[in-house]
Amino acid sequence: MAMKFSRHPYGFLGLGLLLAGTLIGSVSYLVLASTPLTALGMSAIILGAVCLALERARPKTPPEVSAILLEAGMQNIGAIVEELGLRSKAIYLPSSMTGGRPKALIPLQATLSGLTLKTPLPNRLIARYGPGADDIGLLVTTPGSAAINMLEAKPGGTSTELEAALSSVLVGTTDLAAGVRVTMSDKRVTVEISDPSMEYENIWFYECLGSPLASILASVVAEALDQAIRVAREEHGRRKEVIELEVLG
């Protein structure tokens, strides 16, 4: 059976350190009886094991490729929204309202104060969400839809549980921020993000669906509370962003 070697530098470095450490440690201990060289060999073995662990922990899809796919998807959705002339704020729905994973509904109506669904929306791009003639909207997948898969379990609905879930995604998994703080009040969820790594752009897509960070927050909060969520406000500073989400009941 042919052995498969990783093309990632961590894999080559780890194997090299393991082999070199084993050789140096064995010769130093059995032949030279040198304690310092034996310690050097064992250190190389430990470093090799760490490098192999880093190689295994590296995501299958490089971050650069993920960024390209994210940008392409955002541009395509933005083009559709702009061509249709939609100006209404997107409503982020939990998986219980979409029959699958969380998505965002962009209503054709300019204003929509609330949303009550008796059955999950059909898995289609153009979906009807009410009995009225104008109760039609676009049901799209957003960056937040994919972020839900990064969580091991559905988060709880308290501010502490939401903060832990958002920190896991933004700080731990994607490295998009240095810290997250969540506060909740009546029908409002306010999230403070420290040192965000994504810049806000004043484009049509962001005006409708919110920034990618806001999309991730809205999807996670919608899934946790099992309610429709809308991005109410975004404040962008040099070292901190404040995103306020509205709970639609």
SS in 3 state form for 19-88?
HHHHHHHHHHHHHHCCHHHHHHHHHHHHHHHHHHHHHHHCCCCCHHHHHHHHHHHHHHHHHHHHHHCCCC
- pLDDT at 150 > cutoff 90: no
Q: Calculate what percentage of the chain has a pLDDT beyond 70.
A: 77
Per-residue pLDDT, 5: 43
Query: Position of tokens 């937040």?
Result: 144
Domain map of the chain by residue range? 9-57, 63-248
Judged against a pLDDT cut of 90, whether residue 244 lies above it is answered with yes
Question: What is the residue-averaged pLDDT of the chain?
Answer: 77
Mean pLDDT of the region 15-43: 78
Instruction: Mean pLDDT check: name the lowest of 105-109, 114-118, 135-139.
Output: 114-118
Task: Dump pLDDT digits (tens) for 152-193.
Answer: 778 887 888 888 888 888 887 777 788 889 998 888 999 998
